[in-house]
Structure 1
Amino acid sequence: MGKIVKNGSLTSTPLRANVLTTGLILIAANVAIISFLIAVNDIQIPIRPTVDWMIENLYEIEFVKYAVETIRKSVGLSSLSFKSSIKSHSDHVGKILTDSNELSIFTKEQLALFDGSRPSKPIYLALLGRIYDVSKGKKHYAPGGGYHFFAGKDATRAFVTGDFSESGLSDGVHGLSEQELLSILDWVKFYEKDYQAVGVVEGAYYDHKGQPTQHLIEVKEQLEKAISWKEKQLKENEVFPPCNSEWSKDKGGRVWCTTKSGGINRDWAGVPRKLFNSKSKSYRCACVKNFGHALASDIKGNRGDLDNPSLKEYNDCSPTANSCKVQSE
């Protein structure tokens, strides 16, 4: 027996391993072809942050994670982990506030002269106030290129919103989600690695002496909070793994727990509970340890995490059942 996704979760059904293998082989083949074309044509495009984001988010899909884990175990590889990327994010935050004394200081008007429309000048763009020379990718950043809208300005916000209108090409990060802020850090990593930093922009992030402004310090704090948020999400899923779920028109919905539900391998299955998210003001189904010491706190006893105040039982379901019917709310 294998598992497939129903409404975003795993259910038991016959599934051959070669189906999983074939799908992953096709994905790998496409990635290899794209990588080959990029290398042969010496294409310098900001693709790595996007690919990293895609891989990490695809891995959160239960079917993809199950397929990867099935093949990983069959060949004896270690588990995939994205915690290392979180650690590197902390380095990125520090890089943003690196001493800029040796970098040139540009006004916005001066930076605009390096938008690729003047053959005698290099092409610059800015991200969080730091200016990078992207001349080696001029086919993409010069007029007519797919990334020309970033040239000659700081359009930090557009890197994650995809809004390339005049108002969208802004350096502001107000209102961005934690995940979007983390994506900006990925872009910082990309440009720091692949391009040369040549200056800073006088304005929101650096003053006329090239020193970080109070606003940049506040943005740094937001970025650090985003890192903590991501770490908390990972830890929460380990303590309260997502439930398996299914829904059909005839039978309605059902949630249940196993030792592998939510893609989290463990030695306990747990029981389904509604877990409240204080930020989104909504509930999700979580598998809760129902014996021994708690995982989410230092409380000792034999009830696991059942007494956690963020949990709520499902209506018309036994507190000890590992499967509950779900009514539409």
Structure 2
Amino acid sequence: MSAKVSPSPPLYTTFLVYCALQVAFVSFLFSYYDIEVGPIIQPVVKWVIEKAEEIPLVKRTFELLRTLVIGDEVNEENTKTLKKSTPKQKEATVEVHPLDADLSYLPVFSSEQLSFFDGSRPSKDVCLALLGRVYNVQKGHKHYAPGGGYHFFAGRDATRAFVTGDFTEAGLIDDVSGLSHQDILGIQEWSNFYEKEYKLVGLLQGTYYDAEGHLTERMREVIGLIEDAKLWKAAQTKEAEVFPPCNSEWHKDSGGRVWCTTKSGGIHREWAGVPRKLFNPGTKTSRCACVKNFGPPLSNYADVDEEGTRGDLDNPNLREYPGCSPTSNSCKLQED
């Protein structure tokens, strides 16, 4: 009687390990890519893996594979979560230097040195000065280089021309003497613009800064002019609320006309008022103002009747329009 021949243990184990590894690898691929193995294949795969895990070497291999696959998934998920939770970096804020700031740590240019940065030399960036502060405007090269619309500002301090529009050599200067409050405020606006848009790289020795980079007395005076202009602007705003500008029109055939509404001058209010000439004693100029003509006054002047019923009609700086009814809200302008 012949004995039943069985595979030797080493051969059986080697074969089972090989099959288990192949099945495990395919199984993990299916799992990783979310592929369904089906009702027939799945039990076979499960049986092979269970039998193979009885072998220590195969069990350790499975554990290693699980660690690698699951670990990659966890790392990928953590990366996605981190990307979602990490806030976007905000753009660096531009430092705006007040006009009275100590900037003596910056390099000081002479007028001759600054002239080399007028955009005519390819090896040098384009720079300009405003109120003695030197800005690198290279990023706006097409505007400030030769042929650009603002080239006349490059390589110099032409502060005055920013508000006068005089781009002749006589007008391209840094002196702001005699400018109006409105022009002074305009220069401050330009200064704020360059502070925010361009890099401050130095100071210009001369009117506004000395050789050590310290403020000159003239710079302090200009800072005072700016503060005065701000007060003037606030007063103008207040005056416009009390005496809103009139609407106006002019036609070749019918001439000019001024009139008042509850929205004239862009000032929204509950009353329309009547047109009057409002004189400025300081400048000896006048403009058309809509004047409240009932109830207590809004303006403050000498001998004002705060409990009056004529509004601001008695303000001494007001004049009626010739040939116009005092109670009309529209006046035709008479020829001088």
Q: What secondary structure is seen at the aligned counterpart in 1 of 2:118?
A: coil
Structure 2 unaligned spans of 5+: 1-94
1:304 and 1:203 map into 2 onto residues whose CA distance is 53
User: Using a 3 Å threshold, how does the CA distance of structure 1 residues 176 and 295 change in structure 2: closer, same or farther?
Assistant: same
1:271-302 Cα distance to aligned partner (Å, 9 max, x none): 22211123442332211112222212284112
Bigger relative CO (Cα 8 Å, ≥ 6 apart): 1
Q: Report the Cα offset of residue 170 of structure 1.
A: 0.9
2:243 and 2:290 map into 1 onto residues whose CA distance is 6
Show structure 1 runs of 4+ deviating over 6 A.
none
Q: Report the Cα offset of residue 213 of structure 1.
A: 0.6
1:124 and 1:252 map into 2 onto residues whose CA distance is 50
1:230-250 Cα distance to aligned partner (Å, 9 max, x none): 222222221111223455566
Aligned residues: percent identity?
63
1:209-265 Cα distance to aligned partner (Å, 9 max, x none): 111111111111122222222222222221111223455566655433222222322
Q: Report the Cα offset of residue 157 of structure 1.
A: 1.5
> Which residue in the other structure is 2:294 paired with?
291
1:248 and 1:143 map into 2 onto residues whose CA distance is 44
Q: Is the CA contact (8 Å cut-off) linking 2:323 and 2:334 kept in structure 1?
A: no
When normalised by structure 2's length, the TM-score is 0.64
> Which residue in the other structure is 1:322 paired with?
329
1:138 and 1:325 map into 2 onto residues whose CA distance is 52
Question: Which stretch of the first structure deviates more once superposed, 311-320 or 202-211?
Answer: 311-320
2:248 and 2:154 map into 1 onto residues whose CA distance is 47
- Counterpart of 2:260, as a letter, is C
1:89-146 Cα distance to aligned partner (Å, 9 max, x none): xx98x72221112211111122222222333332221100001111222233233333
1:31-71 Cα distance to aligned partner (Å, 9 max, x none): xxxxxxxxxxxxxxxxxxxxxxxxxxxxxxxxxxxxxxxxx
1:169 and 1:119 map into 2 onto residues whose CA distance is 24
- Count the aligned residue pairs: 238
Name which one, 1 or 2, has greater alpha-carbon Rg: 2
> Which residue in the other structure is 1:45 paired with?
none
User: Using a 3 Å threshold, how does the CA distance of structure 1 residues 232 and 203 change in structure 2: closer, same or farther?
Assistant: same
User: Which one of the candidate residues 115, 118, 130 is aligned to 2:118?
Assistant: 115
1:140 and 1:247 map into 2 onto residues whose CA distance is 39
> Which residue in the other structure is 2:211 paired with?
208
Q: Is the CA contact (8 Å cut-off) linking 2:244 and 2:290 kept in structure 1?
A: yes
1:132 and 1:279 map into 2 onto residues whose CA distance is 38
1:249 and 1:116 map into 2 onto residues whose CA distance is 49
- Counterpart of 2:115, as a letter, is A
Q: What secondary structure is seen at the aligned counterpart in 2 of 1:225?
A: helix
> Which residue in the other structure is 1:272 paired with?
275
2:255 and 2:152 map into 1 onto residues whose CA distance is 49
User: Using a 3 Å threshold, how does the CA distance of structure 1 residues 95 and 328 change in structure 2: closer, same or farther?
Assistant: same
> Which residue in the other structure is 1:240 paired with?
243
**What is the 5 A alignment of 1:59-208?**
95-208=98-211
1:307 aligns with 2:314: yes
